[in-house]
Amino acid sequence: MEKEITKYIYFSFENTPPELANTRSLEFSNHKIIEYLNHVFVQPLEHTSNHINPNNFEKIRDKYKIKNLVLIDYLKSKKKIINIKDHVNKTGYNFLRSKTPFKKRETFPDMSKVYLSKDGEVVFSVGSSFRDDLDINHNYTSWVGAIATVWKYIGVDIYGFAYTKEFKFDSVLKHIKGELL
């Protein structure tokens, strides 16, 4: 059986990897949920504050009893796959804006240590501006920078990874297991 650390995987992007595209899924709390091979894959139906917010994430966390998760995003870089140790959110979105305080949590949470990985790369999340012609001398991702803070806010520990679209998802999963197990 998989260790708890790699059981829950959140895709920061909307398109399901081809290897999982024909797998049965359900919709819950404005997210697509796929249970497959001892994993629970979660991804937003859209990148809006109606989909990505503390209330929806808490419902998902509570339903699946998530303590930690692997957060995955697409990457535009010279590298094929990286561990994320920090991000710069250039998406133009902060999904915590106007959503805090949530329940008894603080209004202005400390986001200096969002990811558990100390080794890794800093990424620049650019949201819907993510495209193939970005400069590969930087590590660009789509939405991880805007999404990670919401998971952190509700108390979920995060391991971040990003990979190029050309990389097969099965290989990404093997890489993650090798890094975390």
Kindly report the CATH number that applies to the domain delimited by 4-180.
3.40.50.1580
Q: How confident is the model at residue 3 (pLDDT cuts 50, 70, 90)?
A: low
* Interval 46-89: pLDDT, tens: 999 999 999 999 999 999 999 999 999 999 999 999 999 999 99
pTM: 0.91
Please tell me the distance from the alpha carbon of residue 92 to that of residue 70, in angstroms, as a whole number: 23
What whole-number distance in Å separates Cα of residue 18 and Cα of residue 21?
Answer: 5
Residues 6+ apart with CB under 8 A from 120: 82, 83, 84, 85, 86, 160
